[in-house]
Amino acid sequence: MNRTFAFVTIVAVAVTASADKVVVGRVPYPQVTVSGFQGGRLTFRVSGNDVSKSVSEISQVELQGRADLNRAERLREIKPQTAAGMYRSALAKAAYAWERTFIKYRLLNVYGQTGQTARWAETWAELLASPREQVGARDLRPAKLGSKAQVASAVRSLEAALDRATDARTRLAVSNLLKRLRGESGGSAPADGDDRPGSRSDGGRPVEGGAGVQITGVSKGQLRSVETLIRSGRHAEAARKADALLKQAKASELPRAMFLAGVARMNNPNKSTRDVLQAGLLFMKVWEFYPKSAEAPQALFETARVCEVLSNPLGAQRAYEAVAGNYPDSPFAEQARKRLSEMEQARVEEADGSARGG
């Protein structure tokens, strides 16, 4: 069974009028409205709420009426050389400034994958020239370097970019990459000791923790403190603390940290629809990426609760069925079967009532 189904059914509620699609990692957001792109982040509307995601988290975007861009998005990972040409064509036809900026980030990705270092540097310099994009773009790096000629051309572009840069952090980023390129003879790019911990390659996913964050891990005491905040009803504070721990957590600690971040939002009596959607995404990430973790059965059970809160009984039914089917020995399987029975009884009673009323 596809693990992304439950969240698809969550975000599909009340958005049937929208026609764009965004895939975050392996989690699709169908029928959304993409509203903008700035600072390396894509913004789209889900059930009336704005969601913002880093471009490095976005696996695919489909925009209504942009078949050329959509084809490039589908080919980006499997045929980046072909996608590059499609992106350039889409860039020439883009009607909005935010679309052009998004496409430039995608061009960085495919240029970085294919060793088109000269074009990568030119595009990066264009983004750095925009104050709005400096924060989102300055930590990007090409995944692969090209020939000596490519690198030499890139150096010239970056030297000019360095002369134009006024922001101190941007100048440092350009200087560090220049130092690296001047010492390179081409081929795959090695790690750069001058770059900050957590810096990103534009040809891949962010390093755990994101740019500028050193992964140190979290203690059991820190996780227990979040649990204590939840039990004491301080849900907003618990969510903030859990979010902070997510930036430092090691892979083995992420399931618990993500689960607690979702529970803090879901159990908040003052939660918004956006909080519920964020909780659902966190729970689904636990099951999607850590299906054998101790938290996975309850995370999937909580996904069903999210569906019920969003008045999506079909999504809830499928999530409860997945709990019972995937984790039959879990205590949450029994709870899921009980809830399925209650839902079925409610449907029968509703049908009987309609029949008598008719």
Task: Please compute the mean of the pLDDT values over residues 139-154 and round it to a whole number.
Answer: 92
Conformation bin of residue 68: beta by default, left when phi > 0, alpha when psi is -120 to 50: alpha
| Domains detected in the chain | 5-201 (no CATH), 220-357 (1.25.40.10)
Q: What is the pLDDT of residues 284-304, one digit of tens each?
A: 888 877 889 999 999 999 999
Contacts of 157 (CB under 8 A, 6+ apart): 118, 121, 122, 125
Average pLDDT in the chain: 82
Handedness of CA 103, 108, 111, 113 (dihedral sign): negative
pLDDT of residue 210: 32
Two tokens, residue 149: 């000629």
Cβ atoms within 10 Å, residue 58: 21
Dist CA 116 CA 120 (whole Å): 6
Of 206 and 25, the structure prediction assigns the larger pLDDT to: 25
22 has which bridge partners? Answer: 29, 61
Task: Please compute the mean of the pLDDT values over residues 319-336 and round it to a whole number.
Answer: 93
Cβ atoms within 10 Å, residue 252: 10
Strands ordered across the beta sheet of 27-38 = 49-54, 41-46, 27-38, 20-24, 58-62
Contacts of 82 (CB under 8 A, 6+ apart): 75
**Residue 204 in this model has a pLDDT that exceeds 50:** no
pLDDT of residue 355: 64
pLDDT of residue 95: 84
Dist CA 135 CA 131 (whole Å): 8
Dist CA 101 CA 150 (whole Å): 23
Contacts of 228 (CB under 8 A, 6+ apart): none
Coil, strand or helix at 79: coil
Query: Taking the complete model, does pTM exceed 0.75, yes or no?
Result: no
pLDDT of residue 354: 66
**HSE value, Cβ hemisphere, 13 Å, CA-based, for 44:** 26
**Residue 265 in this model has a pLDDT that exceeds 50:** yes
Q: What is the pLDDT of residues 329-347, one digit of tens each?
A: 999 999 999 999 999 998 8
Residue whose pair of structure tokens reads 């810096």 in the numeric block? 199
Quick check: 248 and 217 in contact, CB under 8 A? Answer: yes
**Residue 186 in this model has a pLDDT that exceeds 50:** no
